[in-house]
Amino acid sequence: MHTEKKSIGIIGSGSWATALIKMISDAGHTVHWWIRNPEKANYIQTHLHNPDYLSSVEIHSEKVIVSNDLQFVLNQCGIIILAVPSAFIHQSVDGVVLPKENIYVSAIKGIEPNTNLVMAKYLEKNHGIPTDQVAIITGPCHAEEVAAEKLSYLTVAANTLDVAQIVKGYLEGEFIRVWCSADLIGAEYSAVMKNIYAIGAGIAHGLGYGDNFLALYTSCAIREMKVFLQAIDPSDRDVDEAAYLGDLLVTCYSQFSRNRTFGNMLGKGYSVKAAQLEMNMVAEGYYASNLIYNKSAKRDLQLPIADAVYRVIYENANAKKTFKVLSDHNLH
């Protein structure tokens, strides 16, 4: 494991990347920030805020080194946080060499759609990064509340607690609390699945279902998640912990959830394509739904909520009829 390079770098320029920049620099650490677009990189360096996301966050010029040279950042830093949408990760790291001694931290919470792999597996198979060098950041946490300096919670999961503790040391601060977990696989698949359930929560809201339904819906969703996680990676994990149930709740209920917003539009009658075009951010649950549906079908798992969301998204099923069947027969 790499021990000499102390710097930490972030790849991405969206809301979550900006929130992570705030966390790390507020905690007093120097951070290298890779931004693909040179004009945007220059703007942020000059005006000290991100014009497109969380523009209220002030960038500390003495702590944040902005660059559009990705290989430089990869070579300079011992820890790299990936914070681009999963659909763009392949494009982002194409043509560069990822040093294998670095720790790579996925803040993506999605799958790479070309390979249908979660990030730890994608990094291993496509870039030769050992999974022991990979960690994942999960919630419950929304970037907007980090920007507003509201008390927020993160879980860092890795195969070994030593790696998770290293990453934790860069994130924890006055408004940020961090837990560590050794359940890399479970935490990553949980982060993928909660986006599917958030789309379903949004569909229900768009259809006019209320809080009573949503409470039952989320209690059933966490049980579905447990069934899937046990099939993929049997363990004595407690799905009532923050990385699982906590992240699920905030993603299903929060006004800041892009997946819930996407689902809400589907519930109100938007087509998938129209909802995608209107949103300014990627709803990771769109890709996740296809992955989880296929994996659960191969194992003959009963996941009625995840299946219902898949049918609405990929089979053009009528949302109202699909959720009527779901509410009448499959939630209890």
Residues labelled as active-site residues: 194
Of the candidates 190, 262, 191, 267, the one whose C-alpha atom is nearest the C-alpha of residue 223 is 190
Surface-to-core class of residue 163, CB atoms within 10 Å of its CB (0-12 exposed, 13-18 middle, 19+ buried): buried
The four Cα atoms 319, 271, 308, 244 give a dihedral, to 10 degrees, of: -120
| Region for 207 from its dihedrals, namely left if φ exceeds 0, alpha if ψ lies in -120 to 50, beta otherwise | alpha
Which stretch of DSSP H or E encloses residue 122? helix 119-127
Give DSSP secondary structure letters for 123-188.
HHHHH---GGGEEEEE-S--HHHHHTT--EEEEEEESSHHHHHHHHHHH--SSEEEEEES-HHHHH
Give residues with Cβ within 8 angstroms of 42, minimum separation 6.
none
Cis status of the peptide bond prior to 140, with omega within 30 of 0: yes
